[in-house]
Structure 1
Amino acid sequence: MTFPTKTGTLKVPGAKIYYEARGSGPLLLLISGGPTDAGVFTELSHHLADRYTVVAYDPRGNSRSAFDGESQTLELDVHGDDAARLIEALGDGPAFVMGNSGGAQIGLNLAARYPEKVRTLVAHEPPCLMLLPDPSEALAGNKEIHDTYRRDGVEAAMQKFMEMAGMDEHGEGGEEEPQAPPPPEALETFGRINGNMEYFLAHGLMPLSLYRPDVEVLRAGKPRVVVGVGEETVGEITYRTGIELANKLGTEPVHFPGDHGGYGAHAAAFAKTLHTAFTQA
């Protein structure tokens, strides 16, 4: 079932935040990661809009959420402030929140600094490299990606990023099954994401890599933090960082359908698992 989409913008200090809202019920804020934007959550939103007012937005610097002036380096506190302002402007009380990847890092910042605005946070595969027993190898890998961008450009850096993230596994034997072309909305989303790659590599990758969630504050249990990991990402870097975060919070991780982007390929099943995580918490 599809639900009407309301779009809007929220003026915040230094930027204008674009958002999309669907459905009715308690507010559920979806935070995308890296260079992605609200468009990656379109199908997931439709599977949740019968129970929630689902709001997805473009994090500042991405797609339709432009800076007032020159681009600024990603600051987690600033992004946490943006999320808090969206909840205050669009919700009636604390919100359910789900963040994926770098969006999970933003969610963790939000939950630690604005606990009164969050009912439950599901942090899906947060790249909390600083929580690893020895983050030096992972940090060096991300610095190599950043250096590759500065030396060789966006395409070379993204190829290295995909390899290190374990997302470059196709084409190694056999032919892939032919697939139907993506719908126009998906093509528009892909185009916007491609346009965000340079900002992510120049200003976002390293701040997200170096961010350490305030585990001591989050362990207090208000709000409740649920760590999600992908059923298909066992052993990969964001699975391992998710497990480390859950261990430090003293909680059990929840396994979600699919991989790092399971919210797209398995939207219906992902929505069901997400709703269960919220209700059980």
Structure 2
Amino acid sequence: MSETDELFGIAEVSTSIGLEPDTLRYFERQGVVPSPRRDGAGRRRYTTADVELIRMLVHLRGTGMPLADIAQFTGADHEAADPAGLRVELLTAHRRRIHDRREELDRALDVITRKIADFSDRITGPAHLLDRPDCTIAFDVRGEGPLLFLVGAPAGRAGFAALAHELTGRFTVVTHDPRGIGASRAVPGMAEPTPEVLAEDLAALVDRFTGGPALYVGTSGGAVTLLELAKRHPGLVGRAVLHEPPLVSLLDDADLAARAAAAFSVAEADPQRAVQEFFDLSGAAHRTGPDQTPPASVALPGLPVEELDKNRYFLGRMAGPTVFYVPDVEAVRRVPVTLCAGSQSHHQMARRATQALAGLLGLPLMDMPGNHLGASAEPAEFAHALTLLLEP
């Protein structure tokens, strides 16, 4: 240390790093951090290098690195022959632990998000009802401002509950359960939930409120519904934000198309298998940056009976017509459309399809928070980004 190096007392270090002085003393006694030098009165005097080392310790401790490993990293417990090599080894192992933990947390977050949606649906009160020739569509209305429809397939009122709550300060938000989903229960003789049929249901719902254009946000299959609405009823579309329409039809990937068709074909008889296969081929529950790809397969736990029943309908009847839908590009060009995808959806089926659609339409692809499930998993951040996209 040179004579010009700045020295800090324990109180200054405590304030700078956010650790109580007693915690700093404890780590020193445990051999986790090296003992600092002392002045003539016996008071601890920390160098800038000491402070930065302790700051790194806080990051490692906060992400769950064992104290024994931290002690090795700091070099407090012994003199390593190759300190730099040891630190790379320790950090590499810790990065692997964090990655595994993140995947576990992401799966837990998805479960929690679904449960929040389920319970939110139960406390919203009775739904409004729209009679259709072959079924009844349940919908909710909340907030004040320009009319905004949140459209999903299969996501319905429950799936959009958190996002709708975030948007009610700026918009009159309408959410609905697509036919066969939630309170819009499937009934004998009901038409199949193709994008064409779902678009007519949505048009009838819009007519319930206004005969003119409105704002729309469509996620996943709901974005496909909006592509068909733009074709059939362009006058109803004031602006549509499409988030990750999963159009396998736009991808030159015969293997992916065959895998999707195979998953849908077994949904009625074996929904657990269908969910597993669609989960693996879509990659949609993972978080992947530009330099990451989804894992080839991650075994799912057994689904409860109600989830299996939902997926018999979704994967067996709704998903196929949705992912193999071929949009009318010229018709879509005639309405204001914004295409977006999750910033953590790279190399996943739906983002790849949205990139292909953006290329056909000559539009940019806007990044949104999260992955394919960003609208439900990160509602506050997603709502903020949406507000910017929906502004005139």
TM normalised by structure 2 equals 0.61
Instruction: For residues 204-229 of structure 1, give each alpha carbon's deviation from its aligned partner in whole angstroms, at most 9, with x where no partner exists.
Output: 12111221111111113xx2011110
- Cα 1:92/1:47, change in 2 over 3 Å: farther
1:245 corresponds to which residue?
A: 357
- For the pair 1:153 / 2:270, whether they are aligned, the reply is yes
- Residues 31 and 273 of structure 1, relative CA distance in 2, 3 Å threshold: same
Q: Aligned partners of 2:177 and 2:307: how far apart in 1?
A: 10
**Quick one: structure 1 residues 168 and 106, their matched pair in 2 at CA, closer, same or farther if it must change by over 3 Å?**
closer
Return the letter of the residue paired with 1:139. A
Which letter does structure 2 place at the counterpart of 1:225? V
Runs of 4+ in structure 1 displaced over 4 angstroms?
167-170, 190-194
Report the counterpart of residue 42 of structure 1 in structure 2.
161
Deviation at 1:28, TM superposition (A): 0.5
Aligned CA RMSD, in angstroms, stands at 2.4
TM-score, scaled relative to structure 1:
0.84
* Whole-Å separation in 2 of the counterparts to 1:57 and 1:114: 19
Q: Deviations over 1:15-44 (max 9, x none)?
A: 10001111011111111123x321111111
SS class of match (1:251): coil
| Greater shift in the superposed pair: 141-150 or 250-259 | 141-150
Question: Structure 1 residues 40, 269: CA separation in 2 closer, same or farther (over 3 Å shift)?
Answer: same
* 1:24 paired to 2:144: yes
2:325 to 211, 215, 240: 211
- Asked if 1:233 is matched to 2:345, the reply is yes
Distance 1:279 1:167, change over 3 A: closer
Q: Does 1:14 align with 2:14?
A: no
Contact 1:27 1:92 in 2 (8 A): no
**Cα offset, 1:72, TM superposition:** 3.8
Report the Cα distance in structure 2 between the residues aligned to 1:169 and 1:66, rounded to whole angstroms.
Answer: 30
Deviation per CA, 1:34-85: give whole Å up to 9, x if none.
3x32111111111111111101111011121134424543222111111111
Considering fraction of residues, name the structure with more strand. Answer: 1
Structure 2 contact 339–354 (Cα < 8 Å) conserved: yes
Q: Which amino acid aligns with 1:28?
A: L
Change (3 A) 1:48 1:137: same
Is there any run of 5+ residues in structure 1 with no aligned partner, and where? Answer: 173-189
Matched, 1:164 2:281: yes
Q: How far apart in 2 are the matches of 1:77 and 1:194?
A: 26
- Of structures 1 and 2, the one scoring higher in RCO (CA 8 A, sep 6+) is 1
Unmatched segments (≥5 aa) in structure 2: 1-119, 288-294, 296-303
Structure showing greater Rg: 2
- Residues 143-188 of structure 1, C-alpha deviation per residue, up to 9 Å, x if partnerless? 11023335x5111111111111114669x9xxxxxxxxxxxxxxxx
Deviation, 1:138, is 2.1
Q: How many positions carry a matched residue from both structures?
A: 256
**2:201 is matched by which residue type in structure 1?**
D
2:277 maps to 1:136: no
Percent same amino acid among aligned pairs?
A: 31
Q: CA deviation at 1:233?
A: 0.4
Per-residue deviation at 1:92? Answer: 6.2
SS in 2 for 1:213: coil
Match of 2:382 in 1: 270
Shift of 1:194: 5.1
Tell me the CA shift for residue 193 of structure 1: 5.7
Alignment-mate amino acid for residue 184 of structure 2? S
Cα shift at 1:91? 3.5
Deviations 1:196-254 (A, max 9, x none): 2111122112111221111111113xx20111100000111100101111111111111
Q: Aligned AA for 2:375?
A: Y
- Equivalent AA in structure 1 for residue 321 of structure 2: P
